[in-house]
Structures are given as structure tokens and as C-alpha cells.
Chains A and B, each alone.
Chain A
Amino acid sequence: MNPTLNERLIDFIHLLRGAGIKISAHRALPIAQTLPLISITQREDFYWMLHSLLVSNPNDHLLFDEAFHLFWQKRNSFDQILSLLLPTAQIPQAARPISPRLLPAFSEEDTVKKEMEREIEIDLALAPSAEEILHHTDFEKMSPQEVEEAKRAMALLPYAFDPLLHRRWESSVRRAAIDPRASFRKAMREAHGLPLCFRKRSLKHPPLVVLCDISGSMSRYSRLALHFLYFLSRHRRNVHTFLFGTKLSNVTRWLRDRDGDIAIDTIATKVQDWSGGTRIGANIQEFNRLWARRVLSQKATLLILTDGLERGDPNELKRELQRLKRSCHHLIWLNPLLRYGGYEAKAQGAAILSHYADEIRPVHNLQSLEQLLLALRKEASHDRRYSFLSSNLAA
């Protein structure tokens, strides 16, 4: 393969990586073999050849498109290639403005990673009564020091979740259903008799989806709520987290970072609409349209964390909640305003939410979070009892 073309292709792949498209080294290997199959003078064929190799997610398509048109025109590299291969060169396309996501990838200097400095205060004399007080303190009323302590206490909440029975089989020690294949294979190894091996249905965590409101009215809770969601994601598989204010963002992947603070800081920079206005209905509509069918598979529990103060159209909210309710198994509304003893859902958005939610729970202090976790666990084990019965009949 032409060495100049080789270098150009490698540069192009680096550009795409810099812009955020994940391309492993393995991916790009067949390029050399693909070039003889297509006619390189056909720009479209070259484009689609690279596309089918390097792009594996429809979300990356637009970025690839822009990168391709800029790269193979910016340094006139495509024309250089053509001039090497053919006597006449093609006319390059008109310049387009560069999207901001590609700009850092074009720049020469590397981005420097931020270093985190944290102060760790160790208070050895934490008396039991002080802990109890912390558990009951409202998040809104906490001092910065108490906030840090609350984050540490959150790590110690009871996160154990019971999984549900699943269709797959896995080997089991206790006497459940007989596994014919394993029994035969064991018999081959042993001299006498037919030893029995057993199998049982495997267990899986059903999906838990969290829609968290990060608009202005919820801003005091948002940071701590994110910490809670971070711990939840660490302790349980199949948790999907979405933040919404003026628009909906999927932050599941960022919450899977090892370090909680790095995860939250990444989210703080990437999600742009903190403390904006709330349009609950519009965001739920987007969730229904784009994400509901993908993340709300069997027996999903949906937590929606919002105060119910809706700025948009209440009819839209009603419609979208109806659809949402039908897509998920259990809908829980986590309302921080429940900290007021005499709270009644009078605002339109709140009234609609309270009508459609299966459960309404407070979420203003550590104790309420603990109770939420216990409730989630109990609900899961309740289902397990029934699904065990039905699988017993079927097996």
C-alpha cells in the first residue's frame, strides 16, 4: 500500500479517536485488504469503505461524516493521493465550519488531566448519637463538612439486592433439576453408576432505571443524589441513570468510573443544563421515544427523582407518564418535598405524578435513602417468590 496513504489513514484514525469514536487497533487492520476491492477514485466508495470498518454506532455517523470531509480536504491530502495515482486531480469541496468536538482533536497539544485534591478529615470521636443525627439531617440543611460525612455514610448504606430468576441454567450443588449433559460427562470419568449433576435457574438483576431532575429547583439535592446513584451503580448491575433539566442525558457510563468524585466531576462538565428550567413531560417523551425500549426490558423498576414542579404542558406530562407506566414494571416517585410534613401534591405536575406513580417516597435525608433501598430489596424478593413458583411448574 502506498506509504503516504498509509500515514494519512493512520492520522485519520487518530483524529476519529480524538473526537471520541472508539476504534481499536484490530479494527483498522483490514484496510489494506479492502483497498484493492474498491475504486479509490470514487470518493463515495472510499467513504463507505472506511465507514463500515471504523463506525459501529449510529451515533458516531455524523461525527465521522464531518471528520471525513474535513480531513480528506483540509490538507488537500486526498488530492495528493489522487495526483500520485492519476494524472488529473479532483476539485476539493468547499470548506465547512469545524464542529467544536473536532477542534481539540485537530490541535497539536495533548489535554492535560486534572489532578484531584481532596481533604480527608478523619474524626475518630464520632459518637453514635452524632451518626444518628447525621442520618436524619435534611440534605438541604447540611454544612459542607456534614455533606462530606454524608457522602461517606452513603457508601455504607445497605445496597445488597436480590436478583431475579432467569431462563438460563447454571450448575448447582444442591439437588434441583437434573443436568443430563453434566451427568453423562461425569459418568464418563467415573467407573461405576450414573452420578447425578444438578442445575438451577440462574439469577439476574432486573433493570433499575433512574431519571434524575437536575433543574434549578432540585439543585441542592442533585450533587448528593448523584453520589447516591454512583454507589448504586457500583453495587448493582443493570442500573441506567439519566439526568434531565432542559434536555435528557444518559450518564450511565460515566457513573461507572472507579472514583466517585471523578465520575461526578466528569458529569458536571459534560452535562450542560444544570439549574435550568424543568420540562418533565418533554424529557419523559424523549426518554420514551429513544431509551424506553432499550433499557426497560423485563421487570424494570423506574425511579424518578423530581419535585414535580413542571413548566411545560401538563397534558403532555400525563400522556408520557401513561406510556412510561406501561413500559416499566414499577414506577417510584422520589420527592424531596415530602420532607415537609403537611405536603400535598397541589402543583399540576405533582398531582399527575402522584396519580401515575406506584409509590411516592421521600428522599431528603440518609434515612429515607436507606428505606428506599430496603423497599427495593423487598420488592425484588416478593417477585422472586412468585416467579420461582411458576418456574417450578414449568420445569
Chain B
Amino acid sequence: MEIPHSIDAVIDLMQEGGYIAPRPLATSLLLAMRLKRPLFLEGEPGVGKTEIAKVLARMLNRPLIRLQCYEGLDQASALYEWNYPRQMLEIRLAEAAGKTDKAQLASDIFTERFLIKRPLLQALQSNSEQPPILLIDELDRADEPFEAFLLELLEEYQVSIPEFGTIKATRPPIVILTSNRTREVHDALKRRCFYHWVDFPDRVQELAILRMKFPDMENALLADVIAFVQHLRGQDLFKSPGIAETLDWANALLAMGCPDLAPSIIEDTLGILLKYRDDLARFRHQEIQTLLAEAKAGKIRA
């Protein structure tokens, strides 16, 4: 499917895929796709950064190639690696068969047969009809040498393999980078990208998201859930619950068959929203009751 031409088209496309994209995010997405520059999404964990890439891939009908970053990630795991055991076997077989042409063997060993393509190379050399979507997830977990290596890739969409030559992408993939901001990603990388900070959704957005995901949920319960989570985010927590946590919680409440939100139910299921013991310890029965009452007092109509 073709890349959309306007911001409204992007919003509609994402909505069809089940993701409510606010207008600023849709603007950045459109610019990144149209101008073939990477998009750098930063935000707290659980706000839906990875989901954007997944929905985009599904709706544009393109393969999603995902590279999960971690500390110590290097070229061998991210770009390519030679299949050494197989190469050694090939050499032994050639020896056993009596072939002595070393030059021929050397050129045979370093061919595509023995090349293990990791995600970045897969994205550059994709055979699909449309260029794929490359998701580089949690870039802040990787270290600075990896960032330096990514710089050239994102600028030119080409890599050089010494034994092979230079591989340039004929059709550059759509690149989306995400970060949880546990460390500052280097400016040199950020300046090559369009930047967007994905924030927690506001009431209206969250309501729309929950309505879309849980059409069977009763309006009263929906309103209470949203009001409570929004109010909870306003408390000075170590880690505020993201939209992923809200969805999990709503799912749990539906599964438990609760008709409405009572403090006892919240107490039992608070672990779905809050993942740090310090935060959980703050909200005992009394605090939960107060919080729920305050939330209900200020809630919007479902």
C-alpha cells in the first residue's frame, strides 16, 4: 500500500489499525515517511511507541523487521555474521575431496550462502514488493559505539562488508527508532531523525482508545477506569502507568466480570497498574478510596 499523502490520511490509517494517533504524532509520521528520514520516538515505557511501528507495518502491508537493542549489541548481532562452522566444514570437505585451488575456495567461502543476515542487513536487502519498516527498539539500551555505527547506516542506507563489497539499499526502509530515555541518545544520531516525544494520553484520547479496544465495556465502568488512571498519573509516582497498563487493567476487570469499580477491586488489581513496590506501598485501602472518590468527582462523561 502506498504511503499516505496527508496528516488526516495518516490518522485514518492508524485508526483503522487500532491506534489512535494524535495530530502531532501523525505529522511527524507523515514527514518521516514522505521525506525518507528516520523517526525517533522517545517516551516513558508503556506509552505505545513500539505499537506505532507494528500498526504501521500491518496497515501499509509491509514486513516489519525488528532489532531489539541491548547493552553490548554489536555489528555481528545487528548487521551480519559469517557462518563460521559451515565455512570450516566446507574447507574440510574440499580438503577431503582433494580440491586444491585455494583462490577458488576462498572466493567460495565468502558468498551469500555463508552469510547470516541479521535485522539491519535484512532491512537493506529486503526482497518484498515494498520497502520494509525497520524498528530499532529501545536504542537507549545499546551503547555509544553502536550508535556511532548506526549513524552511517541511517545517513546513507548502506553498509560495507569487507569480504563482499558495499551493499546499498535500493529502496530505503522506513526506520523508526524508539527510546525509553534511560540515557541521552547522542545528538549526532538525533539530528538525522525527525523527533517526537510520545506522551501519556489525555482523557479524551484514552477514552477513545479504550472504547475502540473494548466496545463491550459499560460506559460507567469505562468512565471510572479512565478517571482513576488519569488521576493516578497526577500523583507523584516513581513510574506512572502507561496506556499498555491501562489496557491490561481494563482487560482484567472485564475478565473478572466487575460491574463497577470498587476500592476492594482496585486494591486487588493495583499491581497491574503500578510495578514498583514503593508506589504500591503508598496506596492502601484508605488512599485508594480517597483517590477513587476524587477521580469520580472530576470525571468526564463516557
Residues of A whose CB lies within 8 Å of any CB of B are 22, 24, 26-27, 30, 33-34, 37-39, 44-45, 48-49, 51-53, 55-58, 61, 166-169, 180-181, 184-185, 188, 288-289, 293-295, 297-298, 323
Interface contact A294-B196, CB-CB below 8 Å: no
Interface contact A56-B190, CB-CB below 8 Å: yes
Q: Mark B83-100, 1 if CB is under 8 A from A, else 0.
A: 010010000000000000
Give B106's nearest chain A residue, CB to CB: A188
Which of A33, A61, A323 contacts B35 (CB under 8 A)?
A33
Within 8 Å CB of B183, what residues of A? 294-295, 297
Interface contact A48-B35, CB-CB below 8 Å: no
Interface contact A185-B40, CB-CB below 8 Å: no
Give B72's nearest chain A residue, CB to CB: A167
6 A-B residue pairings within 8 Å (CB atoms): A44-B23, A53-B31, A56-B190, A168-B72, A181-B84, A184-B84
Instruction: Quote the shortest CB–CB distance from B56 to chain A (angstroms).
Output: 16
Within 8 Å CB of B181, what residues of A? 58, 294
Compute how far the CA of A181 lies from the CA of B162 in the bound complex, rounded to whole angstroms. Answer: 11
Instruction: Quote the shortest CB–CB distance from A192 to chain B (angstroms).
Output: 10
Interface presence of B145 (CB below 8 A): yes
Q: In residues 209-234 of chain B, which contact A (Cβ within 8 Å)?
A: none
Interface presence of B42 (CB below 8 A): yes
Which of B7, B24, B110, B163 contacts A51 (CB under 8 A)?
B24
Within 8 Å CB of A26, what residues of B? 191-192
Compute how far the CA of A181 lies from the CA of B84 in the bound complex, rounded to whole angstroms. Answer: 8
Within 8 Å CB of B35, what residues of A? 30, 33-34, 37
Interface contact A167-B71, CB-CB below 8 Å: yes
Which of A27, A180, A297, A298 contacts B84 (CB under 8 A)?
A180
Q: In residues 53-109 of chain B, which contact A (Cβ within 8 Å)?
A: 71-72, 74, 76, 81-82, 84, 87, 106, 109
Interface contact B182-A49, CB-CB below 8 Å: no
Interface contact B196-A52, CB-CB below 8 Å: yes
Interface contact A55-B195, CB-CB below 8 Å: yes
Q: Mark B175-214, 1 if CB is under 8 A from A, else 0.
A: 0000001111001001111111100000000000000000
Q: Is the interface of B mostly helix, strand, loop or mixed?
A: mixed
Residues of B whose CB lies within 8 Å of any CB of A are 5-7, 23-24, 27-28, 30-31, 34-35, 37, 40, 42, 71-72, 74, 76, 81-82, 84, 87, 106, 109-110, 143, 145, 162-163, 181-184, 187, 190-197, 236, 238, 278
Within 8 Å CB of A45, what residues of B? 7, 23, 27
Interface contact A181-B190, CB-CB below 8 Å: no
Instruction: Quote the shortest CB–CB distance from B89 to chain A (angstroms).
Output: 13
Interface contact A38-B187, CB-CB below 8 Å: no
Compute how far the CA of A49 lies from the CA of B184 in the bound complex, rounded to whole angstroms. Answer: 23
Interface contact A169-B23, CB-CB below 8 Å: no
Instruction: Quote the shortest CB–CB distance from A13 to chain B (angstroms).
Output: 13
Within 8 Å CB of A289, what residues of B? 236, 238
Interface contact B191-A27, CB-CB below 8 Å: yes
Within 8 Å CB of A57, what residues of B? 190
Compute how far the CA of A56 lies from the CA of B163 in the bound complex, rounded to whole angstroms. Answer: 37
Interface contact B187-A22, CB-CB below 8 Å: yes
Compute how far the CA of A49 lies from the CA of B162 in the bound complex, rounded to whole angstroms. Answer: 40
Most buried by B among A24, A184, A323: A184
Interface contact A34-B31, CB-CB below 8 Å: yes
